[in-house]
């Protein structure tokens, strides 16, 4: 579980990082990353863990998942559902504001 006093971090949208860098950035282990991938929460580019590349969107989804787990005790399947619903809500908001 991540440190509850994680600092806020601004992420460059063009940023990418390796599995090791992602683990260090998010303060979690590789097993947790694998579990999030298995659950469909994140989808890194690359065909093997050695070649995985995590973008800003994956980092953001990891951070939101960790907050859901920490603050609300949501399990990974619940976090995946919450993230999907949040994204759909944001898309509806964008559509509404552009009309």
Classify residue 23: in a domain, yes or no: yes
Q: Which string of DSSP letters, residue by residue, matches 44-79?
A: -BSSSGGG-BEEHHHHHHHHHHHHHHHHH---HHHH
Residues 12-68: pLDDT tens digits? 788 899 999 999 999 999 999 999 999 999 999 999 999 999 999 999 999 999 999
Whether 55 is in a domain gets the answer: yes
In a domain? residue 6: no
Q: What is the pLDDT of residue 4?
A: 46
Our count of domains for the chain comes to 1
pTM above 0.95, yes or no: no
- For 53, the domain range is 16-98
The answer as to whether 7 is a domain residue is no
Question: Is 21 exposed, middle or buried (CB count within 10 Å of its CB: 0-12, 13-18, 19+)?
Answer: middle
Q: Report if residue 5 sits inside a domain.
A: no
Residue 75 has pLDDT above 50, yes or no: yes
Distance CA 13, CA 99 (A): 26
- Segment 79-84 long-range contacts (CB within 8 Å, at least 24 positions apart): 79/39, 79/41, 80/39, 80/40, 80/41, 83/41
- 79 belongs to a structural domain: yes
């Amino acid at each position: 579980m991540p440190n509850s006093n994680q600092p806020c971090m601004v992420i460059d949208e063009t940023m990418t990082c390796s599995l090791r860098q992602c683990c260090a950035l998010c303060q979690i282990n590789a097993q947790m990353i694998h579990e999030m991938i298995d659950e469909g929460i994140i989808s890194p580019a690359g065909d093997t863990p050695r070649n995985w590349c995590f973008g800003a969107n994956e980092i953001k989804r990891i951070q939101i998942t960790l907050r859901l787990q920490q603050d609300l005790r949501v399990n990974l399947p619940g976090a995946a559902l919450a993230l999907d619903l949040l994204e759909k809500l944001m898309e509806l908001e964008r559509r509404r504001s552009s009309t």
